Amino acid sequence: MTTKNSDTTNDIATKNSGSNHDNDRSPIAQRKFRMPEIMDAKDHGTSVKIVIDDNEMEVPFGTTILDAARLMNIKIPTLCHHEDLCVAGVCRICVIEIEGQRNLQASCSYPITQPMKIHTYSARVRKARRHILDLMLKHHYGECYSCIRNNNCELQSLAKEHGVDFYRFGHITAPKHQVDRSSYSVVRDMNKCILCRRCVRTCIDLQEVGVLEAVNRGNKTEIVTFMNMPLGDVVCINCGQCINRCPVSALHANDPRNEIWAAIDDPSKHVIIQTAPSPRAAIGECFGRPAGQSYTRQLNTALRRCGFDKVFDTNFTADLTIMEEATELLVRLEKALVDGDKKVVLPQFTSCSPGWVKFLEHFYPDMIDHLSSCKSPQQMFGALLKTWYAEKAGIDPKDIVTVALMPCSAKKFECNRPEMHDSGFKDVDYGLTAREMAGMIHEAALDLPNLPPSDFDNPVGEASGAGLIFGASGGVMEAALRTAVEIVTGVKTENIFENLEIMPVRGFEGIRYYEIPITQTAKVPAILSKALKAKSFDFLKGATLKVAVVHGTANARRVMEDIKAGGKFSHCHFIEFMACPGGCLGGGGQPIPTSPEIRKARARAIYSEDRSLGLRKSHENPSVIKIYKEFLKGGPCGYESHHLLHTHYLKRGSKIV
């Protein structure tokens, strides 16, 4: 069997991918504040000589002063600027002095078009920055010591760096705005807002959702939702990307730590936590460690010392997701190719990103039938814990409290969806972000990186590397292909892809496209025999499996519009969608700050951990095989699994009954 990577020849993916190999921003977010003639000159390689603080260098024509300073390792403070977002130039903290010019200039948006001498910390500059900070603090309500962003607040850090030790222009002593707690996922406190507009640019440009906007002018400017409605009543997809880029605490996640501590302290409750791979690859950042280090086994120890009764690996149900989702796709293909069923809907979309699911529901409700009926790994685990596990452990499900440690603020919304009660109870009681979990560990006076390692608990201690790589964009697709290719062709996947690493679906391009010609087929394995009528996969011989990987909802919108127009992606069979840039490792509950380089480092941690495991394919996981034999006896997409592991609230054209 041969494979074909069509990424470089895919015009739509190339034009609309939202990034290249070194950048995962949307096309709008990549725009620089440059005039057309500047762009043309820069494209022709013209360079300009400049001097910054007595340091000489040449830079490409049109480079901003801020970028030039960073090339020299000269620090210029910023607030509204963010590596993921388009230039705004609204906060003015980054002002510098150019010799011969009367006014100070914002370095983030000032293009270098001629030789100049620049001063980044002259007396005028220092005074201006101090006054700007004083004016921000005048309208910034609250005390730092009681703030959720204390010691991780960009405004607080800048005030310290610039010697702010009193409120020069006064300070408001009473809140002007009511805190908006209407959303399960995101809390808005506009009393803390400094009008940097990062959240607006994130929502409009990076994600293309458009929940937030700036209205009015001057000192009457506000950041509002549509008609100033509560966040829980607008089309927010709960992705939390606005939280990750807010420099202060005007936006933060809806924190359930107090309720979880209460459950831990209640002797009548059996409190279980499942942990996803992305928080484990990032939580060390909350303890001063650099991005790119995974603390999976140290975290297990920390969670037990915090008081959780059981610690389970969400990768186990990620393996189940692969079995269920791959089977669902094969059933759809059999119905379409063998039965000639015109009602079968393709391509099939992944359903494990709740932000993406909500985006689809809001903006493309007529295409919901494309969505896999599989629940996310989080929700699959919740349903199993209050049925299968409760029965094995002899515990009344009403006394089980399930907590999910996730990288995603949208998981808080997902676990509160009314259809997520297939166990007869609320399947997952609380969604907890990496930041919140780090807070609990700090509260318990534990030093996570230096704790002794320990394993996950049984009976579901085993999980594969396929489930682990769900955390990175392309990981769900790679995990699915590791299983599907082997099951369909009968050839070991590692004999086709070196080291089991399917590189064409990895990376940070916003959109990736890949084709796999199927030149040989195998018999249908026993575990799938109840879901499929065919005895072999001969109905797929000669076909070309077409897949795509998409991350960030701005890129999702491009692919969806292409599908609606009958374009290239309409001919795909399977598409992975993730709401957040970089996938789960860039989720709205991950440690702050975030940047393209930080997300790449987290991805390296995940792939490195996968490479170290002996078990790397979902269908080879002994725990998965055992649960189908003992509990989900109908096999993947069978009666039992469809009741617990799939959603039933939507009418789907290819639903398996």
pLDDT one-digit tens code per residue, 245-283: 999 999 999 999 999 999 999 999 999 999 999 999 999
503, 611 contact by CB (below 8 A): no
Please give the pLDDT value at position 468. 96
Residue 14 has pLDDT above 90, yes or no: no
Please give the pLDDT value at position 40. 43
Residue 412 has pLDDT above 80, yes or no: yes
AA identity, residue 557: R
Residue 450 has pLDDT above 90, yes or no: yes
Place of tokens 């991918």: 17
Share above pLDDT 90 across residues of the chain, in percent, rounded to a whole number: 90
Please give the pLDDT value at position 1. 53
Please give the pLDDT value at position 29. 37
Q: Is 294 assigned a catalytic role? A: no
Rounded Cα–Cα distance for residues 500 and 485 (Å): 11
pLDDT tens-digit map of 113-136: 999 999 999 999 999 999 999 999
Identified catalytic residue from 584, 600, 618, 623: 584
Identified catalytic residue from 324, 414, 478, 509: 414
Q: Is 414 assigned a catalytic role? A: yes
Identified catalytic residue from 56, 259, 419, 597: 419
Model confidence at 610, pLDDT cuts 50, 70, 90, reads very high
Neighbours of 485 (CB within 10 A): 21
Q: Which of 276, 277, 273, 248 is nearest to 263 (CA)?
A: 273
Identified catalytic residue from 97, 154, 328, 334: 328
Please give the pLDDT value at position 59. 96
CA angle 81, 86, 88 (to 5 degrees): 55
Model confidence at 157, pLDDT cuts 50, 70, 90, reads very high
Identified catalytic residue from 154, 285, 325, 486: 325
Parse the chain into domains and list their residue ranges: 32-131, 168-253, 257-312+380-447, 317-377+462-645
Q: Which of 360, 357, 371, 375 is nearest to 428 (CA)?
A: 375
CA contacts within 13 A on the Cβ side of 657:
4
HEC string for 341-407: CCCCCCCEECCCCHHHHHHHHHHCHHHHHHECCECCHHHHHHHHHHHHHHHHHCCCHHHEEEEEEEC
Residue 569 has pLDDT above 90, yes or no: yes
Rounded Cα–Cα distance for residues 173 and 194 (Å): 16
87, 109 contact by CB (below 8 A): yes
Q: Which of 475, 505, 65 is nearest to 278 (CA)?
A: 475
Please give the pLDDT value at position 480. 97
181 token code pair: 């707690």
Please give the pLDDT value at position 460. 80
Rounded Cα–Cα distance for residues 409 and 255 (Å): 10
Q: Which of 285, 303, 281 is nearest to 440 (CA)?
A: 303
Model confidence at 39, pLDDT cuts 50, 70, 90, reads very low
pTM given for the model: 0.91
- What mean pLDDT comes out for the span 478-495? 97
Query: Is the bond into 407 cis (omega within 30 degrees of 0)?
Result: no
299, 448 contact by CB (below 8 A): yes
Q: Is 391 assigned a catalytic role? A: no
Q: CATH classification of 257-312+380-447 is 3.40.50.10860, yes or no?
A: no
Residue 652 has pLDDT above 80, yes or no: no
Please give the pLDDT value at position 458. 87
Handedness of CA 99, 100, 104, 110 (dihedral sign): negative
Q: What are the φ/ψ torsions at residue 97 (nearest 5 degrees)? A: -110, 130
Q: Is 374 assigned a catalytic role? A: no
Q: Is 419 assigned a catalytic role? A: yes
Residue 24 has pLDDT above 60, yes or no: no
Please give the pLDDT value at position 45. 64
Q: What is the dihedral of CA 584, 590, 593, 599, to 10 degrees?
A: -30
Share above pLDDT 70 across residues of the chain, in percent, rounded to a whole number: 92
Rounded Cα–Cα distance for residues 537 and 115 (Å): 67
Question: What number does CATH give the domain 168-253?
Answer: 3.30.70.20
pLDDT tens-digit map of 312-371: 999 999 999 999 999 999 999 999 999 999 999 999 999 999 999 999 999 999 999 999
Please give the pLDDT value at position 656. 32
Eight-state DSSP code of residue 457: P
**Of 3.10.20.30, 3.30.43.10, 2.40.160.40, 3.40.950.10, which CATH number belongs to 317-377+462-645?**
3.40.950.10
96, 65 contact by CB (below 8 A): yes
Identified catalytic residue from 199, 352, 415, 572: 352
Model confidence at 648, pLDDT cuts 50, 70, 90, reads low
Rounded to the nearest angstrom, the gap between the alpha carbon of residue 630 and the centroid of all alpha carbons in its chain is 34
Eight-state DSSP code of residue 207: S
Rounded to the nearest angstrom, the gap between the alpha carbon of residue 574 and the centroid of all alpha carbons in its chain is 20
Identified catalytic residue from 42, 335, 411, 412: 411
Residue 8 has pLDDT above 80, yes or no: no
pLDDT tens-digit map of 370-391: 999 999 999 999 999 999 999 9
200, 245 contact by CB (below 8 A): no
Q: Is 411 assigned a catalytic role? A: yes
Q: Considering the chain, what is the average pLDDT of its residues? A: 92
66, 81 contact by CB (below 8 A): yes
AA identity, residue 196: C
Rounded Cα–Cα distance for residues 166 and 134 (Å): 9
Residue 3 has pLDDT above 80, yes or no: no
Q: CATH classification of 32-131 is 3.40.50.150, yes or no?
A: no
pLDDT tens-digit map of 42-69: 445 689 999 999 999 999 999 999 999 9
